[in-house]
Amino acid sequence: MEIIVNSKIEKVPSNLKLEEYLMERGMGALEGTAVAVNDCVISRGDWQSCLLHENDKILIIRATQGG
C-alpha cells in the first residue's frame, strides 16, 4: 500500500502499525519525535495500536537543539 510521509509517497506492507514503521526507520526510540496521521497527533503511547491505511498522510517532526 502507499502512504504519504512528509509529502513523499512511500510503499509499505499492508497491516503496518505506526510504531513498526518508525522502528524500521530508526525513529521509534528517539526522544523529541512527534507524529501526526491525517492531521491528528498520535501520542507515543498509541503508536503501537495505530494501524496505517492506504493514502494515510503522516507528518513526522523531530526536535533538534541549536540556536
Q: Taking the domain 2-62, which CATH number applies? A: 3.10.20.30
Length of the chain: 67
pLDDT (tens digit per residue) in 13-67:
999 999 999 999 888 666 788 999 999 999 999 999 999 999 999 999 988 776 5
- Kindly list the domain boundaries of the chain, sorted by start residue: 2-62
C-alpha 25: how far from its chain's center? 10
- Rounded Cα distance between 30 and 32, Å, is 6
Question: What number of helices (H) and strands (E) belong to the chain?
Answer: 1, 5
C-alpha 22: how far from its chain's center? 6
pLDDT of residue 62: 86
**Cβ atoms 45, 19 nearer than 8 A:** no
pTM exceeding 0.75: yes
pLDDT of residue 67: 59
pLDDT of residue 8: 97
